[in-house]
Homo-oligomer: A and B are copies of this chain.
Amino acid sequence: MSTLNSLAKKINGVAQIPNESVGSSVGMVETCYFHFAHPPNELILESNEKLGPITVAYETYGKLDDQGSNAVLILHALTGDAHAAGFHKGDIKPGWWDEMIGPGKAFDTDKYFIICSNVLGGCKGTTGPSSNNPKTAKPYGLDFPIISVSDMVNVQKNLIDHLKIDRLLSVAGGSMGGMQALEWLTVYPNKLKSAIVIATAAKHSPQQIAFHEVGRQAIMADPHWRDGHYYGGLPPAKGLSLARMIGHITYMSEISMAEKFGRRPGDEKPHKFSVGSEVEDYLYNRGNHFVKRFDANS
């Protein structure tokens, strides 16, 4: 049972015995694809560059009501994807926000029509640097234009129009997803009734810029980086893994990290790089796991 759901039940004062059927899964799901911005009608980006055609990978859970009034758009963070809930065929693990999305869960699919799409520039089905550049018939790599949160939201707006939704009940996202939520509120205030904005900011602080820069430098220092033209060869896995390790440090507060990995008696042995402390092993595993599912150019 999700925390929000528990909280709601506590607030409502309803005494329930928790059981497996509370907050069940949306079950088997499939990713859908929406294509638009075909030349000569390319999308004009914030940078004034044109991009097209564009494919958007998205999933939906629940049913849109007759008034089209129950649609909630889920906005993922930097490394997320469209697969927010349920199971793809053959998968053991559900989508990335399955704890929150499903019948009886916080985003209750018995009530709401939930949409989640991969962002522009991503690497999970929506057009991004690993997509083929129609001009060269090869992956864009670094020729992919620099995109902004505003461009991501513009693409989502095109998807919502395609789904014939005039006004969203809500948009919800954390981190870079929260930045998209703020952009929705600012640019399309009449297109949504509410927004759930989590753990985010309207712009990056110098410290955040610095952490991102070090992550980028780590990727670009990898000999497999080859200016982003690594498709078909080995990807810059060590650099990307390092960038992910740096990211993970910033995803936890100093206090929560101390609680999770505080040194315990017996941890004080000197070591020679190969055997690490718990926090070192954790970061190393996070980094190694990440490179299997994410493209450095994205």
Give the residues from 244 to 298 in chain A that come closer than 8 angstroms, CB to CB, to chain B: 245-246, 248-249, 252, 254, 257-258, 260-263, 270-273, 276-277, 279-280, 283-284, 287
Q: Report A111-138 CB contacts with B as 1/0, cut-off 8 Å.
A: 0000000000000000000000000000
Closest to A245 in B: B214
Complex-state Cα separation, A201 to B146, whole angstroms: 42
Q: Does any Cβ of B come within 8 Å of A46's Cβ? A: yes
Q: Which of B214, B218, B283, B284 contacts A283 (CB 8 A)?
A: B214
Among A242, A261, A277, residue most surrounded by chain B Cβ atoms (within 10 Å)? A242
Docked-complex contact B272 and A146, CB < 8 angstroms = yes
- Segment at the interface with B among A12-20, A64-72, A170-178, A204-212: A204-212
Q: Does any Cβ of B come within 8 Å of A217's Cβ? A: yes
Q: Does any Cβ of B come within 8 Å of A139's Cβ? A: no
Q: Does any Cβ of B come within 8 Å of A239's Cβ? A: yes
Q: Report A205-229 CB contacts with B as 1/0, cut-off 8 Å.
A: 1110111011011101111000000
Number of copies: 2
19 residue pairs from A and B, CB less than 8 Å apart? A142-B273, A148-B270, A205-B258, A206-B257, A206-B263, A206-B277, A209-B280, A210-B245, A210-B248, A210-B257, A210-B280, A211-B249, A213-B277, A216-B273, A217-B284, A218-B218, A223-B223, A242-B242, A246-B246
A298 to chain B, nearest CB (A): 14
Q: Which residues of B contact A239 (CB under 8 A)?
A: 221
Closest to A246 in B: B214
Among A214, A271, A279, A284, residue most surrounded by chain B Cβ atoms (within 10 Å)? A214
Docked-complex contact B221 and A242, CB < 8 angstroms = yes
A residues bordering B, Cβ < 8 Å? 46-47, 142, 146, 148, 203, 205-207, 209-211, 213-214, 216-218, 220-223, 238-239, 241-242, 245-246, 248-249, 252, 254, 257-258, 260-263, 270-273, 276-277, 279-280, 283-284, 287
Complex-state Cα separation, A91 to B123, whole angstroms: 52
Docked-complex contact A280 and B148, CB < 8 angstroms = no
